[in-house]
Structure 1
Amino acid sequence: MFQIVNRTRSWILIEMIETLDNSNKDNLLVAIERFELVVKATHDVIWDWDLEKNTVWWNDGMKEVFGYTSQEVEPGPESWFNRIHPDDRTEVVHNMHAAIDRGDSNWGDYYRFQRADGSFAYVHDRGYTIRADGKAVRMVGCMRDLSEIVQSDEARQESEDNLQFALSAAQLGVWNMNPETGVVYFDERCRGLYGNPSEEILNYETLIQHIHFEDREKVVNAISSALNPETRTAYDIRYRTVGASDHVLRWLHCTGKAYFTPEGVPYRFSGVSRNVTDEISSKERVAWADQQAAMTVEGSGAGSFLVALDTNEIIYSPTMSRIITGRENGDMKRDFFVMHIHPEDFDKRTAAYEIASKTGELRYEARFVWHDDSVHWVKVIGQYLYDSTGKAISLSGIVMDITDRIESENMIKASEEHLRTLIEQAPVATCMFVGKDMVIELPNEAMLKIWGKGDSVIGKPLREALPPEMLDQQLLNILDHIFETGKPYSASGRQADLIVNGTLETFYFDFTYKPLRNSKGEIYAILDMAVDVTEQVKSRQALERSEERYRLLVDELEQRVQKRTEELHQANQELVNSNSNLQQFAYAASHDMQEPLRKIQSFSSRLQTVYSESFDENGVFMLNRIQDASKRMSSMIDDLLAYSRLTTHDSAFEAVDLNKIVSAVIADLEVSIEEQKSEIRVAQLPVVWGNPSQLTQLVQNLLSNAIKYKKQDIPSEIEIRADDLTETEKADLPRLSPGHRYIKFEVSDNGIGFDEKYLGRIFQMFQRLHGRGEFSGSGIGLALCKKVVQNHHGHITAQSEPDRGATFMVYLPIPN
């Protein structure tokens, strides 16, 4: 029976049947029965679209084929159109309406229709248009599910594509021969292997003519054996062809099989062919490549070797012999590697061979002992060659002398260790910021103390290791700029607020950021050195405050000493400004500052004498400080003046007898020598080439220091001597003129000495290792000595230990 989804439609059908006479009723019932049988036989989905009422009827196939129940199917055409795949819907609906509008009686299309489970079926849909009075009133059709057919076609096509891809990837050509007719079918690749013969239909006799004449007989015999029903030999042969059109010689590897009828008659002979020309000629190319490789290896300074593992025979180059043994050997066994390897590196070689047995690659670096007992570093690189069964048959490789590289690496390591030691022992806070991320490396204790951090910051980026209050954006920008430009940066007296023991304190630092470059000239790190100058800055600030108080005091006496106060202020200002330039300060001291200083001393003395009773205790203290400071300033100006004269005065050189210089200085220092009870021993001294006045200053400062820095309650012993300087000793010293001979002049004492880590500091201006309360002085004496020595193109240094005295060594030129 029909499934009537529209009640109106079923009543109309009944009414139509009732209006017919008996004969017509019988015919219609027969037609309906036949229609139902056809639907059940074809398993198609039948539909009936009433164009006037716009309703669609579906048969039971809607459920059997697509899984929809009658309740799920809408009565209108949306039950159809909405289930068409969105990519197909517009075109299908358009073509259907176009066929109706054109008056076509038939319509058909292929598209995807959605099942109840959401998947899509491939369908072939056909419809027939019923018209009344020239107007389309109904369309009846059937829909067939072609999914299995489509999927089968796709799978077959995919299989064919995979086969073609495999043949193409393997570069195989396919051929088939009919043994009865001799006709051969070639694909395009096979035709190319025979030089693309011009014949459209190929036959056995013609193709034989394109095989090299020396190989034709064995090919014919191999084919006959394969087609023989008694032997049925597998066809597997290599032979040469001469191209039909290009006349190119090619080597082919052909494999195939003959197929026989039950009676033993061959009916098909097919197989594949591959171009093996490159493989056949590989031995020649390998030999040529080996020769080129050997030339390349020898040209690079490396040596080559080849070991036959079955006989242990070794073939080696003269270069390899020289690298391993230090000389060329005419006959060596494989064990010469063991014979010459350093005993301490034998296990390293053994381990390398164990790894090579698993990976096939031999690689190690070891020391080898030459015939003259010298030790050289060698790098060995090898590769095992295997046969078809996977058995290693030979070992080939190269050896390279890497002694220079190892020594360079050791030097770099030593240099890095030296840098690490210098940073750790540096008297100032020091560390390195490595890379663009500025990773903290090698911070010494002084730097960690400044940061208030432990070793946990090592290896961390600067931005992560330190808190934000210690890193302002300006500082980070400066470091980034150094990495980009390579320009160092320094600053003096920079303020830093640090948390020490939980308390925020203010410090001041002089610091430098210097870029460090690798061997390629690339910046890889920044060296940070910071000096805590908090005490100096605070002292300067205190001095400035003291000056402010002094100016207030002078203001009270403005009517009496107004003119002198202005001069004092000017003198003080010039003194502060001149700290950054010692030579300019010395000239100013010589010509402009001596007179104002004497007036400061004079007027402060008068203030103390006449008005001392008018001042309170603080005022008297400040006047005393002014007098003490003016005395020290006067002494410092004298020393600076003497220092400046070393540059500005006449520096004419002549032969100078050091004996006379030393005698004169001892006479001048007679009072100090007696006060300190110093015993001075003077050896015979040579004649040097120099300026008498400057040399007198040099000896006087050295001897004065030896007398001054004595131990308490221990008699001072001082020795003055001189020795000739050999060329070997001279080569180890810097800044000596190569065209002069030199002597070593020494002044030794048994005084308090000093720690040699301050050796570079004691020769700098105003540097003191002891307070003024312990030893007087301006801190210029040794700087003056260094300047005198530099004027004479010499060198000065010292050796000392705390409480073990000191020896100052001066290298001076002598007349040629």
Structure 2
Amino acid sequence: MTDEQKPFDQDIAAELERLQFTLQATGIGTWDFTPGNQLIRWNTRCQELFGFPGEETVPFQQVLTRIHPDDRERVDAARQEAFDSPSDGLFDIQLRTLESDAHPSRWVQCKGKAHFDQQGNPIRLSGIAQDVTALIRQQEHLATSEQINQLATEVADVATFHLRLADGHIDYQPLLAKILTGLETTQFDQFTLANFIHPDDRAIRQQAYADGLVTGRIRFEVRFIWHDGSVHWIRVQGAYIMDESGKPWEVTGLVLDVTDQVLALQKLENSEAQMRSLVESAPFPIGVYVGRNMRIQLANQSIKAVFGKGDDVVGKLYSELLPELSNQEIFEQLDHVYTTGTPFHAKNQRVDITVDGKLQPYYFNYSFTPLYDASGKVYGVMNTAAEITDLILAKQQLEKTESSLRGAIELAELATWSMDVKTSRFSYSERFMDWLGFSESTKSMDEAYNPLPDEFRQSVADAIAATIAPGSSGIYHNEHPIINRLTGQVRIISAQAQVFYDDAGEPLSLTGTAQDITSQRQLQIALEHQVQERTEELEAANEELSAINEELAATNEEYAATNEELEEANQLYSRSNENLQRFAYVASHDLQEPLRKVQQFGDLLKSQYAAQLGDGIGYLERMQAAASRMSNLIKDLLSFSRISTRQDASSLVSLNNVVGTVLGDLDLRIQETGALVTVDPLPRIQGDKSQLEQLFQNLLSNALKFRQPTIAPVIQVTARTVANSELSPSIKPGRVTPMYHCIEVSDNGIGFDEKYIDRIFQVFQRLHSKSEFAGTGIGLAICEKVVANHGGAITAHSKPGQGATFSLYFPA
């Protein structure tokens, strides 16, 4: 190594150290795939991500076995696409790894670029891999990043030459020819030697000699193609020797092979460019702040988006760019990291940032990491972060939804239970514990089966085992008795549950509800007993008739009488079934009676004892309002229950008449709100008139309810026909026909975010609080059931503040 190369190499080493530190701090793994031998070479981070610890080189097909089966084809297709695109060769994919005993399943983001030779043939595909599980599942740990191999430069032996300009004669040693051509000889003249220069570089030599006439010195680097076809970078340095008249007559110089240095420099430049590209394109925010005043030196696009202050942020002070953070302890955290060298990590941290002139809350997992110079002194802080705002908001919404669900379960007097598939332990709600006589909420499998009568234990165990077995539907439904371990009380329960799976498709838990149906089954048993008695009487009568018919030898009359008796028996069965349905309907309606008494007695208290109640009037009114809400909820549940039973579409129904009837019922609300309602000519469809009226009653009522306070409602009902082939893949009618009637109900109301589209058609799902808009959250679920009963489908399109459009599809 020459003295002039040492500063250069030291600069390279320092830059590599900074790049290596940045790479390690970002938690990124690096990999390199060679298509020729189908091998992947990667660093320890990638080995950890894919479950190959200690294996620096792994066959590509073996790596595929550690990737989720649903992702393997995409990975292979993305790899092939990168090799088939020489213009850019980009590789970008998100995949899942499989779980093993020693390695959990992960989501991994892989980005890379293909490299090609001069003929356009792919020679390698290299890139990065990053664990992005934390962005999906709130996991936060970043692993160590790639180890960068240190470059080493080796300088070959130096050879000298003397070129006489008058006749072109050149004097040199065999070593020079070996350096330039690979052949150790002195038989080549200067023109032969020059012909070994790469054709693309010959102009460089000519220009260097021309410039030397002005400066007196010659220096250039070009490629020489050796006799064996190998390419070598050669540095030529020399000087013009002048004669007595000051004219150049000779060039004296030296040559040395700098191939290793040039290739090392190219590799360094590629690595640095790749590193900067990786930082810039990283899917998570990265920033570097230098000095105690935290001046921004580096900010990738992700962190610029978080700042919300535009792209011109480099060179500005962190505190001046984000003054809104002054009272959020972040400035103090940065200063502490800078002054002590102690990293700082925050999880699920709320940070209020001004974006578009408005202070808005965001949530992050972020880290402040000290950066050290060559002397070991902290010169700055690196900021890495992952925005988890959507995850936090989703978690908060989930908690609200779970609270609503618990209220609905409590209202319906349902018990809940679950089984951990791996541990075979059962968990019970308080109501279920009361039924079973348990004092603890979790039990082992043997303890859980104890309350079952002996003759039911094996069948229940078999049903649960079949539900969680591979290939099953994952749905459990069973009906059986249970015995309270303390009181001996026997109940008949109907249990339903569903299996939940992990990312690898393995069952995690069996979770569901149970309902006490003892009274229903007792009634059913009583009715069946009556039917049995009548059947026995019929059988006795049949025997008697048979005897009479034998005596009279009237075989035909005997058959006729028997048929009549069987028809009567069928009628008895039908009446029994009708009695069962009537009983269920009456029992459901009796739920309204206690609520009516609560409201009536509340009215009596208000009218007769208002003065004595004083402030208690408010509590009384709240009680009546709660009773009214529960009454509406029961009514809606009854409607939903009736409509859930699919009815045969036995008559043609005019939708114009249906919508006209509904608008007549809503006439007062239309006048009060000043709404403008327009209805296009609508088709006649096969269906149930009462259900269709309920459908349009709910949709039009919602359009009037969810209006913007300062704008009069504008509601449109339109119709068109749509071919089956034109339907979106997300629209799946219950009956397949070539054509469908598409009825659209649109409004200019408050609208909603389409990310909630799957929720709005579920029972008890609300997007607004009860204080904003009244309702039970069942109306759209009823709409979905009515459309399904008619073999159709329903969907919606909306944006907040821009109204909503509900699209109904009925078979034509």
**Under TM normalisation by the shorter chain, which class is it?**
0.3 to 0.5
Greater RCO (CA < 8 Å, at least 6 residues apart): 2
Larger Rg: 1
User: Normalising by structure 2, what TM-score?
Assistant: 0.36
